[in-house]
Amino acid sequence: MNYHLSTVVFVLGSLVVLGLIGLLVSLAGGGSALILIIPIVGFGILSIGGIALRSYISGSIAGARGKEYSYPLTYAFVK
């Protein structure tokens, strides 16, 4: 349940952030290169954050058994 909820929140959040980035670029009057590059970079950062978040949630659901797989990834991002 929490896994599906986190996925939905991640997708909606990434869409909102990408929309805001696109709005800022269009307001700033950026060139076509910026319009192409910024969403790709932003989506890559959001994807990494979403993977860390989902692995952390799945680790907390699975308990001690799942910590061995998810903890190093989230620890690398937190630290």
- What percent of the chain is modeled with pLDDT above 90? 0
Per DSSP, helices labelled H in the chain are 2-28, 32-62, 64-78
Residue 1 CA to residue 18 CA, distance in Å, equals: 26
Find the range with the poorest average confidence among 5-14, 27-36, 57-66: 57-66
pLDDT at 39: 66
The structure's pTM equals: 0.33
Domain boundaries, the chain: 1-6+39-79
Does 38 have pLDDT greater than 50? yes
pLDDT in tens, 10-21: 777 777 777 777
